[in-house]
Chain A
Amino acid sequence: MASRIKTNAEKYIVCPFCSLHCDDILSKSDGKKYSISSEASKVSEANKTCLKKIESFNINAKSILTPTIKNKKANLSSALKYTRQILKKQKDAIIVNHGIDVSGVRSMLNFALNYNCSIDHINSKFLYQNIGIVQRTGYMATSLTETKNRGDVIIVFGNNILCKTPRLIEKVLIPSNSLCTNAKNKKIIFIGEFPDKLLKNLSKKYNISYIKTKIDYIPDLLNLLSDIGSIKIPNISKALVTKIKPIISKSKYLVATWSASDFINSKNPDKIIQAISQFILDRNKISRAACMPISGSLGDTTSSQTLTWLTGFPSRIKYAHGSFVHDRNIYNNEIIIDKKNTDVVIHISSLSPNKIKINENLKNIFIGHPNSKFTSQPDVFIPVGIPGIDYEGIMFRTDNVVSVALKKIRAINLPTTKEILDELT
């Protein structure tokens, strides 16, 4: 917390709140309150939602700036003392990560080593769908800048992907500049169930096509598009397929993108991702193509990357008396918490805007940012700073290869998650 904040100077921030981690947004801060200046960052509709989201983390009347024990204000040392007492008595504890930077994950593992507890990320079930494809068959992948500069045809699968990463289209899929393609000629094919209004707006500006289909039909549809099999898919006209086919076959660098959480209502999400990957592999026999899954809205990629290099496993691990054990079923936080198969839940949430579910029947320790929301009061709440707002940190972008250095724009004297965890370890 040593570095001083120059007040009211405009400064680029690196946004920690979505997996694109944009660093072209200007902020102005008086040291406490910050605003995102909209003139300087080229404003688009998508951009505005981002600005609102970032500003929503400003301190407001509801912000919790002092630790609480059973919803009563307390000072930090007594909150830490109370937490240590809970941890001393635990016979089973689980850390649920709702988003934190690299330093936080490192400390989290250290903490788990000390108390022999398990670690899971709140988004593990989506994370494992994308990891599943790496671990079972592997795939051809690409990253954001490659897509921006080389991708000429982009297929977007799913239904909700653009809400999670609002600037994906303007920054990556159809940017204003592209090194090796003509940005104006880029084509996007949407496959899935997207909001009609969104597509209507997009079609005014961009060259888009849309195949509306239930998520579960994606594998069959891809077979149709690559002339394998001839299964009939409800509500899909032959004419539409014949229109799309040449767009794909003429592509020089095809990019397929999806967000695993979009497939959550499918009975067999693995199959959809596998089908997309296979489609891309087949395409590579003639031309170039690659996948670019989007994930990591809550620091999922940061958590999985860091844990993987430290232990070999991406999530759901436990340090059990001398060794790391990993079991995707046993250490699933959702089941453990729902069925009360633990004593203590340690929630770590330094950047999540979501309302976090708390099981009142268990002891809950919550290390979170001041604007955290929860379904019921935890036993202890310790406010911590937000990486990228209150302190510097490192986080990973959705494509797993680029990590960004988050900056500090506010000084409200909150400890970092790392400091709290190290104190408790």
Chain B
Amino acid sequence: MRPLVLQLKHKLSYRLDMSFLSDFNKLKSLTKLKDKKIIYGSQEIMLKELFNISGSNMKNIIIKKASSLMDNIGKNIEDLSIKVYGNVGYAFGAHMINGELTLYGNTLDYTASGLKGGNIMIFGSVGKYFCGKPNASNEGIKDGLVYVKGNVGDNSIQRMRRGVVIIEGNVGDYACDEMISGTVIIKGIVGKCFGKNIKRGTLFVKDKKLTKNYVKSNNAKYNFIDFYLKTLFKIIGKKIIKNNSLIRFYGNKDVNNMSEVFLIKN
């Protein structure tokens, strides 16, 4: 079965809430999908009026020529694979439960906020409040893997509980605030106030200033980390850290910081 391809017929004039994608598994047939009612502006229209639709695999979706007016792509999805070409709007992959999201473009704020599982690969940059708390809740991402090729805005990765976040670019201010646990890899430079009130978690960083409040550990071999990273690279299809280039630091227990930092040497 060929993947389902959605391509906009015209340039969008109004913001478009794309959270209807999460309903696709419930639809019984392709005709039902094409006739699905969606809200665009003040109008209720059928999906086929806005998009050219081809292909038939409703679990494997490709969105071509996306627009930054498309919000909530991948919100609440379960067992869907969505590939998006072009820039997208707010809340990309927010509240995602399971599935695969791939984006060849940039996103706006609230990307992957409230993530519960699944993989998100972004080959571009993202806005503020990335991997953060959803608006009306105090819980950060609970699981899942997120990879970002580009840069990340301010106030990202707040109250993260589980999961893996990999950022190849730079990160804005106030990142990893109140982190509870999970793994974060940042290869770029990090802004102000990083990791305030962090509790636990494993951080791989290149920015040396982050190790300032940490204690250097002795020079033991980290066999498990090697294995862990290898598995991770397999998932994202790319080797981003050299295995034998890590120096381990651990947090200061006096301030209840039980996280650990691996400094990546050049």
Direct contact between A and B in the complex (CB less than 8 angstroms)? yes
Spell out A's residues near B (CB within 8 Å): 90-93, 115-117, 128, 132, 135-137, 229, 267-268, 270-271, 318, 320-321, 325, 327-330, 336, 341-343
Partner of A327, one of B72, B108, B138, B155: B72
* Sampled A-B contacts (14; CB under 8 Å): A115-B42, A116-B42, A116-B43, A132-B135, A136-B137, A137-B138, A229-B255, A267-B174, A268-B154, A268-B174, A321-B39, A329-B108, A330-B72, A342-B41
Any chain A CB within 8 A of the CB of B204? no
On whether the beta carbons of A330 and B255 are closer than 8 Å, the reply is no
In chain B, residues 151-195, which have Cβ atoms closer than 8 Å to a Cβ of chain A? Answer: 154-155, 173-174, 177, 193
Q: Which stretch (B9-17, B25-33, B56-64) binds chain A? A: B9-17
A321 CA to B45 CA, complexed, in Å: 11
Q: Mark B93-137, 1 if CB is under 8 A from A, else 0.
A: 000000000000000111000000000000000000000010111
A317 CA to B41 CA, complexed, in Å: 13
Q: Which residues of A contact B154 (CB under 8 A)?
A: 267-268
Partner of A329, one of B14, B37, B91, B177: B91
* 9 closest A-B pairs by CB: A92-B41, A329-B90, A116-B42, A136-B138, A135-B136, A321-B44, A320-B39, A92-B14, A91-B41
Given A116-B42, A267-B174, A342-B14: A330 in contact with B90 (beta carbons within 8 A): yes
Given A91-B14, A92-B13: A268 in contact with B42 (beta carbons within 8 A): no
A375 CA to B174 CA, complexed, in Å: 37
Spell out B's residues near A (CB within 8 Å): 13-15, 17, 37, 39, 41-44, 69, 71-72, 89-91, 108-110, 133, 135-138, 154-155, 173-174, 177, 193, 255
On whether the beta carbons of A90 and B13 are closer than 8 Å, the reply is no
Given A90-B42, A117-B42, A136-B136: A325 in contact with B177 (beta carbons within 8 A): no
Q: Which residues of A contact B17 (CB under 8 A)?
A: 325, 327, 330
16 new A-B contacts at CB < 8 Å, known A116-B43, A117-B42: A116-B39, A132-B135, A136-B133, A136-B136, A136-B138, A137-B138, A267-B154, A268-B154, A268-B173, A268-B193, A271-B174, A271-B177, A327-B72, A329-B91, A341-B69, A342-B14
What number of A-B contacts does a CB cutoff of 8 Å give? 73
Partner of A320, one of B44, B69, B255: B44
Q: Which residues of A contact B155 (CB under 8 A)?
A: 267-268, 270
Q: Which of B37, B41, B110, B193 has the most CB of A within 10 A?
A: B41
Query: Do most interface residues of chain B lie in helix, strand or loop, or is the interface mixed?
Result: loop
Query: Do most interface residues of chain A lie in helix, strand or loop, or is the interface mixed?
Result: loop
A229 CA to B256 CA, complexed, in Å: 11
Shortest CB-to-CB span from A7 to chain B, Å, is 47
On whether the beta carbons of B42 and A92 are closer than 8 Å, the reply is yes
Q: Which residues of B contact A325 (CB under 8 A)?
A: 17, 39
Partner of B15, one of A229, A267, A270, A330: A330
A92 CA to B44 CA, complexed, in Å: 11
On whether the beta carbons of B15 and A341 are closer than 8 Å, the reply is yes
Q: Which residues of A contact B39 (CB under 8 A)?
A: 116, 318, 320-321, 325
Q: Which residues of A contact B108 (CB under 8 A)?
A: 329
Q: Which of A93, A229, A271, A318 has the most CB of B within 10 A?
A: A271
Shortest CB-to-CB span from B237 to chain A, Å, is 31
On whether the beta carbons of B133 and A329 are closer than 8 Å, the reply is no
Q: Which residues of A contact B72 (CB under 8 A)?
A: 327, 330
A327 CA to B39 CA, complexed, in Å: 13
Q: Which residues of B contact A318 (CB under 8 A)?
A: 39
Q: Which residues of B contact A229 (CB under 8 A)?
A: 255
Shortest CB-to-CB span from A326 to chain B, Å, is 9
